[in-house]
């Protein structure tokens, strides 16, 4: 997950606080020593308690795929090992503040995109049929129309017009809506146990 680190006109500098809260990472800001919850983006202990950072849209994908789509990207060259996490064991979380949606990846993989409404926003949570570890959350509205998404073979399509869409960019690649771009919305992954800890009142998608 990615958060904006400016708050009330001030740019915050964060560090890893080291402790877990709700089985998840915590940060601290260097200015006040306030402790923040990573999943919530919210200050939980200290002078800024109750403040919340804005969640930004981000993407999980392989470096090779990202470089193909964005060849001019610069990145920190740091050693790393294989991740112990597997996307298939996690859920995609969409947190709009007044309502949270949780979408188990195993269901998305088996039944296809989740066409849902969270906090009155029509959304689509989709897995990339060509890239096993890539997913996106999009606004389903284009102009005055709300689209419904499905997968045909290895293509993401909308059922209303049959247009094909790119999961990484949200751009329509072929069909009546070719060239249109879906708005990308914030989402992140979580283990189901952790999701139930942080968002006990969330809406769990059941296909």
Residue pLDDT, tens place only, 138-161? 999 999 999 999 998 888 999 999
Tell how far CA 112 is from the center of its chain: 17
d(CA 112, CA 96): 22
Residues 98 and 47 in one domain: no
Q: Does one domain contain both 128 and 183?
A: yes
Asked if the structure places residue 120 within a domain, the reply is yes
Q: Which residue segment(s) compose the domain that 139 sits in?
A: 63-70+88-204
Residues 96-125: what's their mean pLDDT?
Answer: 94
Tally of domains within the chain = 2
User: Got the DSSP string for 183-195?
Assistant: PB---EEE-HHHH
Contacts 24+ apart (CB under 8 A), 22-27: 22/194, 22/197, 22/198, 23/193, 23/194, 23/197, 24/194, 24/198
Residue-wise pLDDT for 29-84, tens only, equals 999 999 999 888 899 999 999 999 988 887 767 777 788 878 999 888 777 777 66
The rounded distance, in Å, linking the Cα atoms of 117 and 105 is 18
């Amino acid at each position: 997950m990615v958060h904006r680190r400016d708050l009330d006109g001030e740019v915050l500098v964060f560090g890893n606080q080291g402790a877990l809260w709700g089985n998840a990472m915590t940060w601290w800001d260097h200015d006040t020593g306030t402790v923040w919850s990573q999943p919530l983006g919210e200050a939980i202990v200290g002078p800024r308690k109750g403040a919340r950072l804005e969640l930004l849209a981000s993407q999980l994908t392989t470096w090779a795929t990202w470089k193909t789509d964005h060849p001019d990207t610069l990145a920190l060259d740091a050693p790393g090992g294989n991740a112990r996490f597997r996307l298939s064991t996690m859920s995609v979380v969409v947190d709009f503040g007044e309502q949270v949606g949780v979408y188990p990846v195993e269901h998305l993989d088996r039944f296809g995109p989740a066409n849902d409404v969270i906090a009155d926003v029509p959304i689509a949570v989709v897995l990339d049929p060509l890239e096993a570890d890539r997913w996106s959350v999009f606004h389903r509205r284009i102009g005055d129309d709300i689209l419904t998404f499905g997968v045909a073979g290895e293509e993401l399509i909308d059922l209303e017009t049959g247009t094909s869409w790119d999961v990484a960019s949200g751009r329509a690649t072929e069909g009546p809506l070719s060239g249109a771009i879906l708005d990308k919305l914030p989402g992140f992954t979580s283990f189901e146990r952790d999701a139930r800890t942080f968002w006990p009142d969330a809406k769990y998608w059941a296909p």
